[in-house]
Amino acid sequence: SVPLLQAARKRNSLNLLELSEAELEEQFVRGDGPGGQATNKTNNCVVLKHIPSGIVVKCHQTRSVEKNRKIAREILQEKVDLFYRGEDSDVFKEKKASEKQKQEKKRRAKENLERKKLFKEMQQLDKK
């Protein structure tokens, strides 16, 4: 189920499992990455753990602790939904649909490239 958890972070999912605050363990730690002193001196990175499943989410997307808390909860909710529902999860279905669209777009682009290549070859033959 580890690859399923990587599908999380789709915003359009509405039918997700609810999380209760009693099941969550929250910590605030120093974030890492670019930002220099602003990052090194503040504890605005949120680490959220869902105790029953053991899923841990770390969020340091913004400088605001409140925004990071909200984003972390959204990500955790999606991951917990994937963990318990698996392939029946809306998040998983959205991910599959977007992958299918991406493959279709790639296929069309490849076909167009082949058409252009044939067209150029035809033009060169006509010139000779």
Residue ranges covered by each domain of the chain: 21-86, 89-127
Would you place residue 78 in the very low, low, confident or very high pLDDT band (cuts 50, 70, 90)? confident
Contact 119, 111 (CB under 8 A): no
Q: Residue 48: enclosing H or E segment and its boundaries?
A: strand 45-50
Which residue is it, tokens 């997307």?
61
Cα distance between the two ends of the chain: 60
Highest mean pLDDT of the ranges 16-30, 32-46, 102-116: 102-116
Q: What is the pLDDT of residue 2?
A: 42
Q: What is the pLDDT of residue 20?
A: 82
Is 60 exceeded by the pLDDT of residue 88?
A: yes
% of the chain with per-residue pLDDT over 70: 88
Q: What is the pLDDT of residue 8?
A: 53
CATH 3.40.50.2000 fits 21-86, yes or no: no
Instruction: Report the chain's mean pLDDT, rounded to a whole number.
Output: 83
